[in-house]
Chains A and B, each alone.
Chain A
Amino acid sequence: MSAVHRLRSNAGAALAFSIIVLLIVVALVGPWFNPNNIESLDWAHVAAYPSLTGAHWFGTDRLGRDLFARTLEGMRMSLAVACVASALSLSVGIAYGAVAGYAGGRWDHLMMRFIEVLSGLPLIFFVIFLTVIFGRSQYLLFLAIGAIGWLTMARIVRGQTLSIRQREFIEAAVASGASAGRIILRHVVPNLLGPVIVYATLTIPQIILFESFLSFLGLGIQEPHASLGTLIAEGAGEMEAAPWILLVPGGVLAVLLVCLNIVGDGLRDAIVGPESAAA
Chain B
Amino acid sequence: MTPALDIENLSVHFPNRDGAIAAVREASLTVLPAECVGIVGESGSGKTQTFMAVMGLLSAGAHTAGSVRFGGREILGLRASELNRVRGSKLTMIFQDPMTSLTPHLRVGIQLAEVLVNHSHMSWREAEKAALRALERVRVPEAQRRLRQYPHELSGGMRQRVMIGMSLLCEPTLLIADEPTTALDVTVQAQIMEILRAMRQESRMAIVLISHDLGLVAGLADRIVVMYAGRVVESAGAADILGRALHPYTAELLKCVPDLSRPRLERMPSLAGQAPSASSAEAGCAFAPRCSLAGERCRSERPLLRDIGGTAHQAACHYPLPA
Query: Nearest Cβ distance between residue B44 and chain A, in whole angstroms?
Result: 19
> In this assembly, does A29 line the interface, its C-beta being within 8 Å of a C-beta of chain B?
no
Binds B, one of A12-20, A66-74, A168-176, A218-226: A168-176
B 52-65 to A, binary, CB cutoff 8 A, 1 in contact else 0: 00011100100000
Determine if B60 and A105 form an interchain contact, defined as CB atoms under 8 angstroms apart: yes
The answer to whether A179 has its CB under 8 Å from any CB of chain B is: yes
| A-side contacts of B119, CB under 8 Å | 177
Determine the distance from Cα of A175 to Cα of B118 in the docked complex, in whole angstroms: 13
> Which residue of B has the minimal Cβ distance to A182?
B118
Check if B95 sits within 8 Å of A171, measured CB to CB.
yes
Size category of the binding interface on chain A: 20 to 34
Q: What's the Cα separation between A178 and B87 when bound, in Å?
A: 9
Residue B100 interfacial (CB < 8 Å): yes
Chain A residues 168-199 with CB under 8 Å of chain B are 168-169, 171-180, 182, 186-187, 190-191
| Chain B residues whose C-beta falls within 8 Å of the C-beta of A175 in the assembled complex | 55, 57, 87-88, 92-93, 95
Report whether A167 and B100 are in contact in the complex, using a CB–CB cutoff of 8 Å: yes
Q: Which 6 A-B pairs have the closest CB atoms?
A: A177-B88, A176-B88, A168-B100, A172-B101, A177-B87, A177-B84
* Inter-subunit contact B60/A176 (CB<8 Å): no
For residue B198, CB closer than 8 A to chain A, the reply is no
Q: Which residue of the partner chain, among B95, B104, B118, contacts A177 with CB atoms under 8 Å?
A: B118
B100 close to A169 (CB less than 8 A):
yes
Specify the chain B residue showing the minimal Cβ separation from A106.
B60
- B93 / chain A contacts, CB cutoff of 8 Å: 175
The yes or no answer to A64 lying at the interface (CB within 8 A) is no
How far, in whole Å, are A176 and B84 apart by their CA atoms in the complex?
8
Instruction: Give B residues with C-beta under 8 Å from A.
Output: 55-57, 60, 80-81, 83-89, 92-93, 95, 97, 100-106, 114-115, 118-119, 163, 166-167
B84 and A104 contact, CB distance less than 8 A: no
Residues of B within 8 A of A177 (CB): 83-89, 115, 118-119
Let me know if A176 and B103 touch, CB within 8 A: no
Task: Note all chain B residues with C-beta closer than 8 A to A169.
Answer: 100-104
Q: How far is the CA of A46 from the CA of B85 in the complex (A)?
A: 76
Cα–Cα distance between A71 and B81 once the two chains are bound (Å): 56
Determine if B118 and A190 form an interchain contact, defined as CB atoms under 8 angstroms apart: no
Instruction: Name the CB-closest residue of A to B112.
Output: A176
Q: Which residues of A contact B55 (CB under 8 A)?
A: 175
Q: Which residues of B contact A182 (CB under 8 A)?
A: 118
Q: How far is the CB of A268 from chain B (nearest CB, A)?
A: 19
Asked if A186 contacts B114 (CB within 8 A), the reply is yes
Residues of A within 8 A of B103 (CB): 169, 173, 186-187, 191
Q: Which of A168, A186, A191 contacts B95 (CB 8 A)?
A: A168
The answer on a CB contact under 8 Å between A180 and B80 is yes
Interchain CA distance A187-B60 in the complex, whole Å: 19
CA distance A176 to B89 in the complex (A): 7
Query: In the complex, what distance in Å separates the CA atom of A178 from the CA atom of B83?
Result: 10
Closest chain B residue, CB of each to CB of A104:
B60
Residues of chain A contacted by B85 (CB below 8 angstroms): 177
Name 11 extra pairs, CB < 8 A, besides A172-B163, A176-B115, A186-B106.
A104-B60, A105-B60, A169-B104, A175-B55, A175-B93, A175-B95, A177-B87, A178-B118, A180-B80, A186-B114, A191-B103
B-facing residues in A88-146 (Cβ within 8 Å): 104-105
Name B115's closest neighbour in chain A (CB-CB): A176
Provide the bound-state CA to CA distance between A174 and B60, in Å: 13
Residue from A104, A174, A179, A191 with most neighbouring chain B CB atoms (10 Å) = A174
- A168 contacts B115, C-beta separation under 8 Å: no
Chain B's nearest CB lies how many Å from the CB of A191?
6
In angstroms, Cα B32 to Cα A60, docked, is 89
